[in-house]
Structure 1
Amino acid sequence: MNTQKKTRQKILLLFTIGFLSVFSIHAQQPTAKEIVEKADNLLRGESSYAEMEMQIIRPSWSRTLRFNAWAKGDNYSLIYITFPQREKGQRFLKRSREMWNYVPAIDRMIKIPPSMMMQSWMGSDLTNDDLVNAASIVKDYDHKILRTETLRDRECYVIEMIPHEEAPVVWGKVITWISTKDYLNLRNEYYDEAHELVNEEILDEIEDVGDRTIPTRYTVIPANEEGHKTIMKFEKINFGANMEESFFSIQNMKQMR
């Protein structure tokens, strides 16, 4: 009788240990939304200032843009074109869900309507929406882990993001690759409403930039336009820059030099 009791106790103990181990593993496993949020916070931060270079590559020509960019959270961003000379001084402002373009040559402020958010930004393979992140990849999508796989020697979560019906989102679906160890966003695929691939985005040249390590080069490759490519590179980036919401005003944008 004692032997049977001891056996049952051992079985119960082993079962309990096994259950707790599985529970612990699942408790430590972040959700798809948490993974996306960690990656987004790493790239965005509470605020940032960046100096960037963009190369627009086509089969028969290419051109270079340079611009400075300020951002605060999800809701505010400001971009100032510094090169080439003919476009120097153009500014783009995002406040919440709204976007403006100031063209100094004609002293005109243009509010960009939602219908134009999918249009090319400055002739590149990025859209207005891509540049100012008018949609939030955390708040405006449902997230699902599809699998894990190795990408460029890093184990990654592969996560599907489907936009909410009411969200102001231009994509029908986004697939993202985020490293399991340090939450680096290494690749994205953007699909239209018919779930046909539109763009592939590759994030590489991972570097230390002060208090974090992030990809510093983004390459956007259209799916159906051979020889088209846009490369965007951080020349400098500072996170945690002190800036007030009033900095992201139409009045301040017009006064910048």
Structure 2
Amino acid sequence: MNHRFLSTLLGLALAVPLPLAAVAEERTDPLAPYASKITLTPDPKAAEIIRAADRIRFPEKPFRYLLDLVEMNGETVVTQQRLDVAMRVSKPTGERQGDVKALVRFLEPQKDQGKALLSNLDKLWFYDPRLKRPIPIARQQRLIGQVSNGDIVAADFDLSYASAILGKEPCGIVECYKIALERRWQFVTYPKVTYWVEVESKRPFKSEFMSTNDLILKTAFYKDYKSALGRDRPSEIVIVDALQKNHFTRMIYSGARFEDTPDVYFQREYLERLR
């Protein structure tokens, strides 16, 4: 499969973070040996702030929306797609582990109709009607090009990262908390994140995604807040690639609604039956 095509497929709001189930109960979790070393001292107040910001970015009830994915190079549109995305996001409660599932159906351009992508915790599959069966996507392939944009959009910072408040800074006309995040688990895509959250509203403002040596790889800007699913949420996320000059991706959300997509749709075997 062409690497550029693959990176376009995976650079969506669907590559969900693996540790959602992993951190439900660390003492009994079989993935606990994969815990990442954390150098900061976790701050309960920081965790409370990012938990509130996470709920603004996406709700816990099952929902569905349209996503226009526009890859830009300066003022030039490189690729553009329209996708139908169904998601389930739930936090761990008591004996129940956290869970994240996403099903993406390609609507436009016409040549992509019938294609689908399914993310179920650490599993990711791509389906094309021209193929005999869904193709599993390896973790290494998620690091190609724009593919990790999905982790940026869908990452649950509360569960995926330990956090500490660094202080407060101006964010335009408002004031923001500046929060340092370090991944709890080795398989989280970005080791470190610096996150700016508005003090009064708890709205996400900006996040910088970094390597282990603090090199900024991508920056996400949460923009154009509009009422959706019962509260104001960002209707656009702009992701700037620090490693490619003038390159950025616009993710534009519309038509959001609460919808309990049947669980069978989130099974690999069902991809071939989608229309």
TM range (shorter): 0.7 to 0.9
C-alpha RMSD over aligned residues: 2.1
Instruction: Say whether 1:169 aligns with 2:188.
Output: yes
**Counterpart of 2:36?**
none
How far, CA to CA, are the matches of 1:208 and 1:132 in structure 2? Answer: 18
**Counterpart of 1:6?**
none
Instruction: Say whether 1:100 aligns with 2:129.
Output: no
Alignment of 1:21-170 (within 5 A): 31-46=45-60, 47-58=62-73, 62-73=78-89, 74-120=99-145, 125-127=146-148, 129-130=150-151, 133=154, 136-164=156-184, 166-170=185-189
Paired AA for residue 87 in structure 1: D
**SS of equivalent residue, structure 1 residue 181:** coil
Higher relative contact order (CA 8 A, sep 6+): 2
How far, CA to CA, are the matches of 1:132 and 1:161 in structure 2? Answer: 16
- The Cα of 1:160 is off from its aligned counterpart by 0.9
Contact 1:116 1:128 in 2 (8 A): no
**Counterpart of 1:250?**
268
TM-score scaled by structure 2? 0.74
**Matched pairs, number:** 222
Contact 1:173 1:193 in 2 (8 A): yes
Contact 1:117 1:128 in 2 (8 A): no
- The Cα of 1:206 is off from its aligned counterpart by 0.8
Contact 1:162 1:173 in 2 (8 A): yes
TM-score scaled by structure 1? 0.79
- The Cα of 1:136 is off from its aligned counterpart by 3.8
Contact 1:186 1:202 in 2 (8 A): yes
**SS of equivalent residue, structure 2 residue 158:** coil
Q: 1:132 to 1:93 in 2, by over 3 A?
A: farther
Q: Which of 206, 209, 219 is equivalent to 1:190? A: 209
How far, CA to CA, are the matches of 1:96 and 1:195 in structure 2? Answer: 27
